[in-house]
Amino acid sequence: MNLRALPWPRTLGARLFLILLAGLVVAHGLSFGVLFAERYITARQVMLGTLETDVSTSIAILDRVPAAERPQWLRHVNRGNYQYVLGPGLPGVPEMSAQAQEIADRITEASGGRFPVRVESIPGQGKRLQAHLTLSDGSPLTIDVHPKPPAIAQWLPYVLVLQLLLLVLCCWLAVRLSLRPVVALANAADALDPNAASEPLAETGPTELVRAARAFNAMRERIARFVEERVQILAAISHDLQTPITRMKLRAEMAEDSEDKRKLVHDLAEIETLVKEGLTYARAMHGDGEKASRIDIGSFVESLVYDYQDTGKAVTIRQNTGGAILTRPHALRRILTNLTDNAIKFGGAAELRVRRDGAAVVIGVLDRGPGIPAEKLESVIQPFVRLEASRNRETGGTGLGLAIAHQLALAIGGSLTLHNREGGGLEAQLRLG
């Protein structure tokens, strides 16, 4: 039998539960089997000893009383496992099992050799056998023996079921207690976010689990420090570059008007834009320190759309659901502005849709542009990832717009996902709550 072909649970908890339960059930079964076998052997020895003593006494009584009185004595000498029959009994065969042969030897010994004994097994009657002998007056006497297994108490099956249920409960509890720290570690690893404040993993329990929790917390702190250092470096570089860029722009403006001057001013403007976007991205990693406040999301989105419409941009509201939410308004406006600007840039127009999904608020920014290849929907929200291969800032941007929106969404406790629309276009979906 191929054990690998058998179905095997996929979870570690189920595997440990089956292994522990199988081991305990087998051990319990062996213990019960040994106990039952010992009880059976003891009962058989008691029966054989009782049989030898009773047979010798009963044969002596039946041999001494007159033949007419013997039927009256049968009810006194009969036992549960064997009865006396006045007569030749049933025909049998001399072949017997080891147990039957032992019973036959005991009956022969009980007769004391005074009465020849012939023991036969009864065909088709299981372990039933009969001992035939002749009393002193020539009357045949048959001892009908049918061994019975030791009686089992009626409450024993209920005890066995209760023990098995107790084994199942103990195995389940042991596996649950053993795997709870592992599940907590896995959940903490899934929720690990260096940009968001979270409680460290509890360092309690057995020594090995405490050590694992400490290692995880130390790793979490190292990652957070690394991200913090990276953000500080990016912010410092972006901030320090603004001064020399400003000086270079002033010097370029003071130069004589020429084609080289216009190209230089254009390049400096692109560098300045990239530096500002880098600084904004660094600030977005921490939500820019803005405090949360309560706003009406319907009015907030309407105000944003009206601002675009005042400047002649094709931005409309497709669906709007009002209601108060607690969020960071400036960060939320920056997110929606970046998404709307992308929709206008690549689709020519943008539609905003606000709806509620249970306790969460879902804001969608939709366009009918070329969309994004499915394999790049997740990577495009990473910093400096651009789908336009020419590297032209005017057509592809800096590659930080979606990254800033994504980081700000995480900073205000939301999430940003991108979906291609049926019929063409893209939907950027911001989920809050």
Of all residues in the chain, what percent carry a pLDDT higher than 90?
Answer: 6
> CATH number, domain at 328?
3.30.565.10
> CATH number, domain at 52?
3.30.450
- Decide if 210 is inside a domain: no
Residue where a domain stops, chosen among 145, 176, 194: 145
- Decide if 332 is inside a domain: yes
Residue where a domain stops, chosen among 110, 129, 145: 145
Q: Could you tell me the pLDDT band of residue 389, with boundaries at 50, 70 and 90?
A: very low
Q: Could you tell me the pLDDT band of residue 76, with boundaries at 50, 70 and 90?
A: confident
- Decide if 25 is inside a domain: yes
More confident residue, 65 or 236: 65
Mean pLDDT of 151-169: 78
pLDDT tens-digit series, residues 395-408: 445 566 787 788 88
Residue where a domain stops, chosen among 145, 162, 181: 145
pLDDT tens-digit series, residues 40-49: 677 666 666 6
Mean pLDDT of 284-297: 72
Measured between alpha carbons, how far is 411 from 416 in angstroms, rounded to an integer? 11
pLDDT at position 392: 43
- Decide if 50 is inside a domain: yes
pLDDT at position 362: 92
Full domain range(s) for residue 91 = 12-145
Would you say residue 290 has pLDDT above 90? no
Whole-model pTM over 0.75: no
Domains: count for the chain: 2
The per-residue b/e assignment along 272-307, b for 16 or more CB within 10 angstroms, e otherwise, is: bebbbbbbbbbbbbbbeebeeeebebbebbbebbee
- Decide if 69 is inside a domain: yes
Mean pLDDT of 343-370: 89
Would you say residue 243 has pLDDT above 70? yes
- Decide if 88 is inside a domain: yes
More confident residue, 236 or 78: 78
387 neighbors 372 (Cβ within 8 angstroms): yes
pLDDT at position 340: 92
- Decide if 235 is inside a domain: no
- Decide if 168 is inside a domain: no
Mean pLDDT of 385-399: 51
Q: Could you tell me the pLDDT band of residue 390, with boundaries at 50, 70 and 90?
A: very low
- Which of these ranges, 6-15, 51-60, 218-227, 309-318, has the smallest mean pLDDT? 6-15
Strand-pair partners of 84: 143
More confident residue, 152 or 5: 152
Helix (H, G, I), strand (E, B) or coil at 93: strand
Please state, rounded to an integer, the average pLDDT across all residues of the chain: 77
List, in order, residues 6 or more apart from 210 with CB less than 8 Å away. Answer: 203, 204
Six-digit token string for 227: 């991200």
